[in-house]
Structure 1
Amino acid sequence: MREDFLQKIELIKMRANKVLADKILLRKIALVASAVLVVVLLIVFIATSDMTQDKQSMAHSEQSHQTQDTHSSQDFTQEQMKEQNLTEQDSQQDFAQSPQNLQPSEQDFASSSQVPQALQNPQSPLDTPKSIGTNAQNPQNSQYSALNTQEARGDTSTKYDEVKVSASQAQGLGIKDIPIQNPSITRGVPFNALIDFDDKESATQSSTFDVVVVGISMREGEAINEGDEICEINSNELNNSYFELENARNRYRVAQEVAQKDKGLYESGVISQREYQTSYLASRELYLKLSQLENSFKLFGIDPKNPKGKSGFRVVASSSGILSVAPKTTGEKIPAFTPYVRISKSSDLLARIKIPASISDYVVPGSKVYSEQGQYVGDISTVSVVIDKTNNSITAIAKLQKGVFRVGEVADIYIEGKQPKGTFALPSDAIIKNGKDNLIFIKTQEGYIPRVVNIVEKRSKSFVIDSSGFRGDEKVASGSLIALKGLINNVGIGGHSH
């Protein structure tokens, strides 16, 4: 019993010692945490005080600078006022000492008559380019109406001066002058056009199955009369149709004879009306079958009354005109439902033009069409509203009124697209980029004046610019504008820039 009691006492002492050790450890941890927090707060306080001192010093320095600037400006103003007062005093003394200069003498009038006219008249067109802006009222002596600097610039805030270049120098640099308004510039971009006869007055002939050409009598482009033989074709289907045609003819001939006899017997009272009607309906049914076969041969262009030729079935002209489409060689296979004969009743030509969908909005009915040489050849009559998904294009039809074209020819033609009002169209080689400015060079008496323009629209080979500030009769430089750009940027001789 005693030993158990002693063991319990020892166990209680051990637990008490453990609890005491835990309390001491917690106190140490709390002391360390408090010390760390104090250090952090001290660092933050020091950093904040440093920043406040820096701000105060910066504000003080700025205030001192402003004070110095104010004093210096005041001193400069006082010096200017002193100089101005001294100048006025000197001028007054000179004026007081020279009263005789107020009235000109007769010698002065006499000597003034000997001054050259170009110096007497401030409106003379012989002034330097910088004074042209005030004397452009006498254009007779200038090929370009004495183009003045400000008018050429169109903006008094322009930062470019005139570039003095002679005509021979410009030609040597590869520069040529073009009018700012020129139909050859606005004619647009070239398109491939297939030349063909007008379809509104033409007749076509095709087959509902494949055929082979076995003979040729006439070729494309020849004048033809109705009934003339064009070629001969053949196929198994044509032979079968021909046998059906002959069979239907024979059966119809017999049925027609029977119907005629029954009609006589019915009128004589030998047979009844029903028997006569049966024979009559049978003959009419065979007639319809025969008409169907004959129309099929007519669709092929074959005369059903005389279909056979030397080697096949004769294809004859269904009307008179010009043979615009015809087989080219013997042995040629013609697919089903493909027109192999077309006869145009007039020689009117049209151009089928494929236009990319991206620029289709610029082509409208009535747009003028030009040849590759810039000659007017016709107008756009219709523009399709359906896009061809195979090449993402639309088809425009132009009626050709002038020019020399051949059917089947693929020609390069130009379409004059619609142009916004208040704009000019210039070729791409008449505009050059200089920094952020789009420049053109307007022709003057002694060279070119750069002009900043606003580009309204960019096209394939041209630019549409705002026409504000232009007269419309100016000439602009085109070609190798890089040389003029170098001159205005002081890369070369004769350039000037601010």
Structure 2
Amino acid sequence: MRNIAIVSAAIITFLMVGCNDKPESEMGHNENSSTSEKMKNNGDAHVEEGEHNEEEEGEEGVVILTMQQAETIGLETKTLEERNLGNNIKVTGMLELFPQDQANISPFVGGNVSSIKVVPGDNVRKGQVLAYIEHPDIIAMQQEYQEKNDELVFLKQDFERKQTLYDKGVSSGKEFQMAQSQYRSTTSSVNGLRSQLRLLGINPDKVAEGQIYSAVPITTPISGYVDEVMISLGDYVAQQSKMFSISDNSKIYVNFKVYEKDIKQIKKGQQIHFSTASRPDELLKATVRSVGKTFNTDPKALEVLADIENKDKDLLPGMYVEGRIVQGEKMVLAVPEDAIVKNGEKTFIFVQDNDKKEENKLRFNMVPVNIGISDLGYVEISLPSGISKDITIVTKGAYILSSEMIKSELGDDD
């Protein structure tokens, strides 16, 4: 508290010095000008000037700052707005992805990484090549397929010939059965190798024509963003070893924790408003998808899953959120909590005065308000009669303005 007081005092001193100090030459010039005007106009102009200064410096509930002073104290303003506030159930949760919207990608066969086509953060589409791996076993598999496929052509002809002879009673049944067995066995081997080549991303028809691929592509089964790349060029990657992690953030959802006493008020299809640490001033909407049937032990709460829209894909898995389940919601005038200044039992806000504009200066009036419900960092307010809703309020730095006003009033009393 002592450190805060010292910092506040330093800022206030800066403001007072910036507002009141004038160069001696300027003061001398003003005195000479006033004397000259007094001599010319029998003192009338001097009286008017004195009255104007007294009004500007001593007006109650008003603070005047230069643009530089406002920037120094980090003053922020915003147009007064209406927000949905109400008595509601407050919940917390985490942004997550369903299992089908995330993928860990591994190779079907071991090999050495010969090329990497993406980096973390890249947007990829389903079927896009992420990397290539190569290994002698991959080449040997293609050679075996070529040999078996060529052998199958001969065995098919031999089988058909012996079947014809057997049907005519010329060939023995044993020869026909052996030819049939060899043909079926080789057909099975060729079909198996053909399927393996397809899994590796190799065209078996091209291989049958004599083409051999030295490397095979590693592709993504879903569209989304590359979260992790766990390989480097030249690495040997064993079968089923994790190479990439991909996630589709467009289908993200919220996993809320709801305590036992509030469960009876949760229903499927209900709306939940929530905000994230990265966007605290923006209320996002979620719709209850399902209500869990099993309580977690720590804390003793039920999981409530809610769907959200993430068109901009700026909401990421793992983000912590604070939300509320709508109960008796209503539109009210609301300001951030930092905009409220308390003085004893009274509460105030600072409103920017746009009617009395001066070059390079900002004028703020202290306006009393009544406060109502608080929700997600905002407070309901009621303005005095005669005050328009179309006003600009101080959202950050209100307490510093209050301290400056008190300091000015104490100075006037001296």
Q: TM-score, normalised by structure 1?
A: 0.40
Considering Cα pairs closer than 8 Å and 6+ residues apart, tell me whether 1 or 2 has the greater RCO: 2
Higher helix share: 1
Question: Hey, which of these two has a bigger chunk of strand by percent?
Answer: 2
TM-score, length basis structure 2: 0.46
Instruction: Tell me which structure has the larger Cα radius of gyration.
Output: 1
